[in-house]
Structure 1
Amino acid sequence: MPFNLLLFPLVGGYYILIRFELLRYIQYRLESQRILLNSAFAGIILLACCFVMRGLVNIILPSVIQYLGEHMPVKSQYFGTTSFSLVAAVLFTEIANLFVNRKNAIKQSLKKAGNELELLMSSSFFDAHLLQFTMDSGKVYIGWVKEIPKPFTTNYIRITPALSGYRNEKKELVFTTQYLSVYASYITDGSVSDQSELMTDLVLKVDKINTASFFDMEMYKRFNPEEEENPTAH
């Protein structure tokens, strides 16, 4: 087989890896050499499947193989099978994506290859857990991750804040803003019908985050029994 024909299954394997929802997000964090190697393996499997399909069609409908061979634009052995591998890769990927839930695909990818912060973000987004972010400026934000970005593709995260404050000289958490009561007041007086209309989302830069952790208000109150139950709203 001419080596230039192997370009078709190689591109086909690459297409599957970067377009198929269940695989693409894992590829984002791999080095280019690793992606190329994975593409080669995927291409080999793809080409093998195409040869098996060609053999089956040749047994069942030999006239079809003969007809296609006579009408190929390039009269070269194996051209039809190798070029079909690229077509098959595109068709398989796009059809399969119709049956894949994108959010679940991202969630599964994060479980397999996500770092600690990405796993926290996934838990907040999918299970509505509050997260506490302490920035390098000392500012503290507590809220829910508003959206789960494509893994490993951005240096920013967007949250819906519930509380915010700062850490004083003793590293104690001091609340300054209580967003939940503000959300409730707007909804109660009919100014808005949904919190998202207030456009209070915050965008945090990942490399400015010192620490991130789960936040539980009940546990916080037990550790800080003398703190006021309701932080001052501004």
Structure 2
Amino acid sequence: MDASLTTSLLLLSLTGGYSFSIVWKASLFRSVREQGHRLYFRAAFYTAVCFVCALFLNFNFSLYSKDFAGSQDGFWVAISSFASSEIGSGKLPILLVESFVIGVFLPHILNLIVNILDEVCKKIARVPKASLFLIKPAIQHNDFECLICNAFELEVPILLTLKSRKIYVGWVMDGPNPSVERRYMKILPLISGVRGESFQRLNFTTFYSDVYNQLIEDGKGEEGFQEFEVVIPLDQVANAHLFDLNTYQRFSE
């Protein structure tokens, strides 16, 4: 086989591996925060994965299209026959092209499966647990994103204290997304108020639950809730933590 053709097909296969690494959610969430040699190694790794998948598909086709049942070591005979015929007889270009195709289409199929699992999880627990499972490894070194992830997974509101001493307790509306740099945070407030200037004590002044209950009774639901969403620049946040009102009331008595 011509060396230039082999090189071109290897580059094509690497393109498929790179495509896999930036489309498949489990890899995307990590690759967007990597650069240089780490990103190259990730692309090479998924290129190898796609090539192995191509080998596996071709091997199974070869195994079922030929009769190896008569041999005592039929499986190993099949492997030997496959290796000599597929790679040794000049079929490597086909495998490289197949690995490229797998790298382009397989991550979309995997993402579709994750999305379906997310929808199932939302109906059961209202939380996209499949995506969160993939996201966690990518955000493990970002404390704020981990906090957001925990708020989503545990379905617990978050308390934000701004530099102006304004405080919000509310539900996080945008989940963790390692593929973008978070600069703002959108919440649906449950309570708002201010911290005391001297002892930083929480002083709640506004409670939104009665308004939300009225919106639900009026049939406005989510459309009405959107009018109360608050977008907060992260550079204005002094601190943040999960908040449980019942626990707060118990300790503040």
Supply the AA of the counterpart residue of 2:100: L
2:39 pairs with one of 28, 35, 38: 35
TM-score by length of 2: 0.71
Corresponding residue for residue 145 of structure 2 = 118
1:106 pairs with one of 119, 131, 145: 131
CA distance, structure 2, for counterparts of residue 52 and residue 35 of structure 1: 26
CA distance, structure 1, for counterparts of residue 97 and residue 231 of structure 2: 46
Does the 8 Å contact 2:172/2:186 carry over to 1?
yes
How big is the shift at 1:184?
A: 2.5
- Answering whether residue 205 of structure 2 is matched by residue 176 of structure 1, we say yes
Q: Deviations over 1:55-93 (max 9, x none)?
A: 55467669xxxxxxxxxxxxx973332122111222322
Does the 8 Å contact 1:13/1:41 carry over to 2?
yes
Corresponding residue for residue 124 of structure 2 = none
Does the 8 Å contact 1:106/1:151 carry over to 2?
no
Corresponding residue for residue 13 of structure 2 = 9
Corresponding residue for residue 214 of structure 1 = 242
Gaps of 5+ in 1: 63-75, 226-234
Corresponding residue for residue 80 of structure 1 = 94
- After superposition, the Cα gap between the structure-2 partners of 1:106 and 1:56, relative to the gap in structure 1 and judged at 3 Å, is closer
CA distance, structure 2, for counterparts of residue 160 and residue 94 of structure 1: 32
Does the 8 Å contact 1:183/1:195 carry over to 2?
no
How big is the shift at 1:106?
A: 2.6
Correspondence list, 1:15-94, <5 A: 15-54=19-58, 57=61, 78-94=92-108
CA distance, structure 1, for counterparts of residue 153 and residue 223 of structure 2: 17
Q: Deviations over 1:205-225 (max 9, x none)?
A: 223322111112222223333
Corresponding residue for residue 141 of structure 1 = 168
Please say which of residues 168-177 and 51-60 is displaced more in the overlay.
51-60
Corresponding residue for residue 159 of structure 2 = 132
CA distance, structure 2, for counterparts of residue 222 and residue 53 of structure 1: 61
Does the 8 Å contact 1:155/1:207 carry over to 2?
yes
Does the 8 Å contact 1:26/1:109 carry over to 2?
no
Q: Percent identity?
A: 29
More helix by share: 2
Please say which of residues 107-116 and 52-61 is displaced more in the overlay.
52-61
CA distance, structure 2, for counterparts of residue 129 and residue 214 of structure 1: 7
Gaps of 5+ in 2: 67-89, 119-127
> C-alpha root-mean-square deviation of aligned residues, in Å?
2.7
Q: Deviations over 1:19-52 (max 9, x none)?
A: 1233322322222532221001211232244245
- After superposition, the Cα gap between the structure-2 partners of 1:185 and 1:57, relative to the gap in structure 1 and judged at 3 Å, is closer
- After superposition, the Cα gap between the structure-2 partners of 1:58 and 1:164, relative to the gap in structure 1 and judged at 3 Å, is same
- After superposition, the Cα gap between the structure-2 partners of 1:7 and 1:214, relative to the gap in structure 1 and judged at 3 Å, is same
Supply the AA of the counterpart residue of 2:28: R
Does the 8 Å contact 2:21/2:43 carry over to 1?
yes
Residues paired across the two proteins, number: 211
Supply the AA of the counterpart residue of 1:85: S
Corresponding residue for residue 186 of structure 2 = 158
